[in-house]
Structure 1
């Protein structure tokens, strides 16, 4: 085991959007270990397995990412009870946490990084940790226990297209996918550079969502739902939640879905 600064650990566990924000939260005096030991300073050295929480936090999950998945489940009235969930881009485990709370039978927590998943999930008997794994190159044989029947996606610095392209070789036809769409990783480089990585313009969102929806349907997914995420991503970027079905014919009007999602995002 190694030691980390308290602010870095708080950030790694998904309880703050940056190390700087983590330091500010610690200064409020509301950060504790799960053993109820108060964290006094941002520079306090802690074992990297120490689990932290923020008293008075607005959600019960291991990271704020869980709020996004919980909202999607409510919006689309989907059940995870008994499902084998593939959590792509699991990070600290916000989506994995919600999946277990919602009755998932098993969760594959897959991430290209390492040592991010919180210990309570890493040691959970219903979680299979797949760290340092690039999903683009996985096959069905890599899932050595039960085969995935439901997928969640929260990835950064990569287009969703590269994930979905492989996912429909993993999931059976008719399976559900809840995927976050992050405009800053789907836009062309000029637009991202021009806006310093923060895209808030509704016109830009519309163009980006049109592009995303086109490749989603081209990859043989039906878009059942599209809504703004209830919380923003890093740097205040607006994100969108999508609800997809594998191997289904598109029934809903994509134009209407996009228009409503962009309009709703104006009120965040």
Structure 2
């Protein structure tokens, strides 16, 4: 049976208006083939494949799209990766990794029973509730770690890089969400009532983490601002991608 490019299929069979719109949907991870997210427009499909356009509720939380935005901008395949999710909460970042075919995800959070049941009950998931990320050690993980992701609140990322350095091998990828309100100190956060709109201060927060990472032996390979929906009430946050220096 003749196969078709996925972007062409969406236009010809699922009423997507234009090919450029189809490509956008695919690259933003809104399209699944046989229940697996596919982000390559040239991926070949046929009538035997189950092809769906997913909406924003395809993930357990909107936080998922912060990690997705970074992954869409860098050439990194996380298939078969062993992942540690720091500050997993309901599991948005974990959900992304699982849907992109990670082999195992360790969900770490200081809270209890926060994970969405979809994530908590996944056989690929190991749950570390009531666990401070600063207390993690290599012997808590059965396999070498391929990827560390993190969405942490009420804590500076500067305080976790020593732990990350101990967990990471030379090939481990690190993708973290930088939140300026937790990096610039209480005085500045209070001055701006928790929402730091000053672009220079936002950049300063990112630079602080990049500098801390460098001291711990990690190189910043990419940064990107995440999408926000209400600039008056939400802080502009940034996803940052690190690897150890060669």
Give the Å deviation of 1:212: 2.1
Instruction: Structure 2: state its 5+ residue gaps.
Output: 1-53
Matched residue, 1:226: 223
Q: Cα gap change, 1:185/1:153 in structure 2, threshold over 3 Å: closer, same or farther?
A: same
Superposed CA RMSD in Å reads 1.8
How far apart are the structure 2 equivalents of 1:59 and 1:157?
26
| 2:158 counterpart SS class | helix
The alignment's TM-score, normalised by the length of structure 1, stands at 0.68
In the TM superposition, what whole-angstrom CA distance separates every residue of 1:146-188 from its partner, at most 9, and x where no partner exists? 2321110100010111122211111111211110000000012
Q: Do the aligned residues in 2 keep the contact of 1:232 with 1:239 (CA within 8 Å)?
A: no
Give the Å deviation of 1:132: 0.6
Q: Do the aligned residues in 2 keep the contact of 1:152 with 1:177 (CA within 8 Å)?
A: yes
Q: Do the aligned residues in 1 keep the contact of 2:70 with 2:239 (CA within 8 Å)?
A: yes
Q: Do the aligned residues in 2 keep the contact of 1:233 with 1:239 (CA within 8 Å)?
A: no
Give the Å deviation of 1:57: 5.5
Give the Å deviation of 1:114: 0.7
2:113 to 108, 115, 138: 115
Q: Does 1:193 align with 2:162?
A: no
Give the Å deviation of 1:207: 2.3
Matched residue, 1:22: none
Q: Do the aligned residues in 2 keep the contact of 1:87 with 1:109 (CA within 8 Å)?
A: yes
Deviates more, 1:229-238 or 1:102-111: 229-238
In the TM superposition, what whole-angstrom CA distance separates every residue of 1:22-43 from its partner, at most 9, and x where no partner exists? xxxxxxxxxxxxxxxxxxxxxx
The alignment's TM-score, normalised by the length of structure 2, stands at 0.74
In the TM superposition, what whole-angstrom CA distance separates every residue of 1:131-155 from its partner, at most 9, and x where no partner exists? 1101111111111x32321110100
How far apart are the structure 1 equivalents of 2:230 and 2:67?
13
Give the Å deviation of 1:116: 0.4
How far apart are the structure 2 equivalents of 1:107 and 1:232?
28
Matched residue, 2:210: 213
| 1:95 counterpart SS class | helix
Question: How many pairs were matched up?
Answer: 192
Q: Does 1:167 align with 2:189?
A: no
Q: Do the aligned residues in 1 keep the contact of 2:88 with 2:109 (CA within 8 Å)?
A: yes
User: Mapping of 1:1-268 within 5 angstroms?
Assistant: 58-143=56-141, 145-231=142-228, 235-246=233-244, 248=245
Give the Å deviation of 1:190: 1.4
Matched residue, 1:259: none
Give the Å deviation of 1:206: 2.3
